[in-house]
Amino acid sequence: MIAPSPVSKWPVAVLAVCLLYALAAASIGWHHTVLDFLGFRQAQTALTVYFMVGQPPRLAYETPVVGPPWSIPFELPVYQWIVAAVVTFCDTPCVETGRAVGLLFFLLTLLPAYRLLAWLGFAPGHRLLALALFAVSPFYIFWSRTFLIESTALFFSLSYLAAALPFVRQPRAALALVTVLFGVVASTVKITTWFVFASMILLYLCHVGWSRLRGRGHWMECGRSALLALFVLGIPFLAGWRWTCFADEQKALNPIGRDLATHADVMRRWNYGTLEQRFTLKTWGAILAPAHYALGHGVVLALAVLAVCVARRHRRIVLSCLLVYPLAPLVFTNLYAFHEYYAYANNVLLLAVAALGVLALLERGGRYRLAGSLGLAGFLALAVWRHHEYYYPIQAKNCDELNAVGQAIQRATEPDDVLVILGCDWSSELPFSSRRRALSIPFWRNPRLENMPDYLAIAPPYRVGAVVIHTAWQPFERSAVESSIRDAGFEVRYYRVGDEYEVYAVRKGMRSARGPRIE
């Protein structure tokens, strides 16, 4: 049997079914809170968007969680700007809009992926089958519908790769502009994602340079490759570095924000981890776990590599993907070990290996074609099973425990009031749930009641409206909290919200009274 032609209908049908399935699976829990999984980071992005709505775009954008000044930028907020613009002009719900934009970028990623597969010489039908494997991946379905920048970063980074590889092979002015544009946006939106694809480009540059050196025997080819590397990799890297410098300058204006700068000890440990951490099975077990969720099962990768070896096709591409895959975890070890969503950047390489295994068998034809078809069907079945087994329970549960706390805070404060929060680290979950700015004292700052006067000393035009204590982490006595607030010159009214949160409404000159217990 021959390989699918450009007019073959069954690859189109497979992709269409996979896309419909992806949309249906992503829609589960669509109206739930952003606290379903790693709510700390989702709420941080959502809080940023909430305070962008109705405002002009700013590079020094606000994430009001560690007190004034409110700007502690991390990434160039392309995703956040888009979500805020849609909410502003279309008056759509913030959470659902964030999910829709993330899912849209996930679907848009199919475009540069298709272009890349075409450049690699795959038949149109086979390109669609490869995209179907990406579309049905449970890992990508779940994380694409979260309130995160991951799909945006992947879209720009994969577009960068799809433009850079042809440019390296045959430089052209128009392609140069597109490459640099996508590279700059990718590196400033999320430099850890850009790093994965920049590594792939660097590997290809080395391959092209070495091939030309062997073919022509002239060292000028090495110089040519070096100049291309400076252009294709250097400009985006400088853009990412300059954005990081700007972000650190803004963080330095905030007393707590200084600890969040890239050069600060807290962030260095959090981003890179330790040398010992890189050589422990526990670390690599956590890093490799998302691969199971992306592939459906880890055995898929082994079978895909075996299929490529048997079919003798695309071995260099598979080897390149496997070489690049661990580079980012080796550099940003702690981030990959603690945040599953960081694998959004490099799990796509493992999916590429799986797709190449299937395509290599289909291309060889004969009995191998049957094996490829069974491999394709098996991958799709495993993907559906994995999503139902692992991600469906997460999406189906609405983690709305903070809704009651947020509503109590809203009743006890004015919209422009600031919260002082103890016991929640520097999480944005409570500020976003209550739609309030906050000074949330990080655990590394050792929150203490003796420092309450400093916490409450928010300069005009802002004022503190409430002190919130997460008693599970900061079990302060109520009398001690009230005493520390009064000693700072505030009157206080006490609320108990559920079993883990205490809210103390505070005002200058407000008469002290005991508020109702709010369940």
Tell me the pLDDT tens digit for each residue of 89-106.
999 999 999 999 999 999
For the segment 501-515, the average pLDDT, to the nearest whole number, is 72
Q: CA 39 → CA 42, 71, 109, 418, distances in Å?
A: 5, 20, 25, 21
Question: pLDDT class for 516, splitting at 50, 70, 90?
Answer: very low
Whether the pLDDT of residue 143 is over 80: the answer is yes
The set of residues, in sequence order, having a beta carbon less than 8 Å from that of 193 and lying 6+ positions away, is 150, 153, 154, 157, 186, 344, 345
What's the CA angle centered on 118, arms 115 and 121, to 5 degrees?
155
Question: pLDDT class for 496, splitting at 50, 70, 90?
Answer: confident
Higher pLDDT among residues 366 and 468, named by residue = 468
Q: What is the per-residue pLDDT across 271-321, written as a single tens digit (0 to 9) for each?
A: 999 999 999 999 999 999 999 999 999 889 898 888 888 877 789 999 999
User: How many domains, in total, are found in the chain?
Assistant: 1
Whether the pLDDT of residue 3 is over 70: the answer is no
**Secondary structure letter of residue 419 according to DSSP:** E
Q: Give me the half-sphere count of Cα atoms (radius 13 Å) on the Cβ side of residue 19.
A: 16
| Residue 201 forms part of a structural domain | no
Residue 169: its pLDDT value, please? 86
Residue 310: its pLDDT value, please? 82
The set of residues, in sequence order, having a beta carbon less than 8 Å from that of 398 and lying 6+ positions away, is 29, 32, 33, 36
| Residue 427 forms part of a structural domain | yes
CA distance 467 to 327: 44
Q: What is the mean pLDDT of the chain?
A: 92
Residue 511: its pLDDT value, please? 45
> Both tokens of residue 149?
């920048």
| Residue 451 forms part of a structural domain | yes
**Secondary structure letter of residue 234 according to DSSP:** I
Question: pLDDT class for 221, splitting at 50, 70, 90?
Answer: low
CA distance 239 to 78: 15
- Backbone angle region of 446, left / alpha / beta, with phi > 0 → left and psi within -120 to 50 → alpha: left
Taking each helix axis as running N to C, give the angle between helix 150-169 and helix 110-119, from 0 to 180 degrees, rounded to the nearest 10. Answer: 20
For the segment 363-374, the average pLDDT, to the nearest whole number, is 89
CB 304 within 8 A of CB 358: yes
| Residue 495 forms part of a structural domain | yes
Whether the pLDDT of residue 132 is over 90: the answer is yes
Beta bridge partners of 439: 66, 420
CB 438 within 8 A of CB 411: no
| Nearest one of 83, 141, 76 to 109, comparing CA atoms | 141
Q: What is the per-residue pLDDT across 35-67, written as a single tens digit (0 to 9) for each?
A: 999 999 999 999 999 999 999 999 999 999 999
Residue 514: its pLDDT value, please? 42
| Residue 434 forms part of a structural domain | yes
Q: Which domain holds residue 476?
A: 403-518
Q: CA 462 → CA 29, 407, 416, 438, distances in Å?
A: 36, 21, 7, 11
For the segment 203-226, the average pLDDT, to the nearest whole number, is 72
Give the chain's radius of gyration (CA, Å).
Answer: 26
Q: What is the per-residue pLDDT across 410-448, written as a single tens digit (0 to 9) for each?
A: 999 999 999 999 999 999 999 999 999 999 999 999 999
Higher pLDDT among residues 139 and 171, named by residue = 139
| Residue 185 forms part of a structural domain | no
The set of residues, in sequence order, having a beta carbon less than 8 Å from that of 327 and lying 6+ positions away, is 195, 196, 199
Question: pLDDT class for 508, splitting at 50, 70, 90?
Answer: confident
CA distance 258 to 262: 9
- Output the pTM of the full model: 0.94
| Residue 103 forms part of a structural domain | no
- The burial of 476, by beta-carbon neighbours within 10 Å (0-12 exposed, 13-18 middle, 19 or more buried), is given as middle
Among 219-233, 304-318, 365-379, the least confident range: 219-233
Whether the pLDDT of residue 225 is over 80: the answer is no
Question: pLDDT class for 209, splitting at 50, 70, 90?
Answer: confident
Question: pLDDT class for 219, splitting at 50, 70, 90?
Answer: low
Residue 8: its pLDDT value, please? 76
For the segment 209-235, the average pLDDT, to the nearest whole number, is 73
Strand 418-422 relative to strand 464-470, pairing = parallel
For the segment 197-201, the average pLDDT, to the nearest whole number, is 97
Question: pLDDT class for 227, splitting at 50, 70, 90?
Answer: confident
> Both tokens of residue 26?
């992503």
Question: pLDDT class for 2, splitting at 50, 70, 90?
Answer: very low
| Residue 26 forms part of a structural domain | no
For the segment 143-152, the average pLDDT, to the nearest whole number, is 98
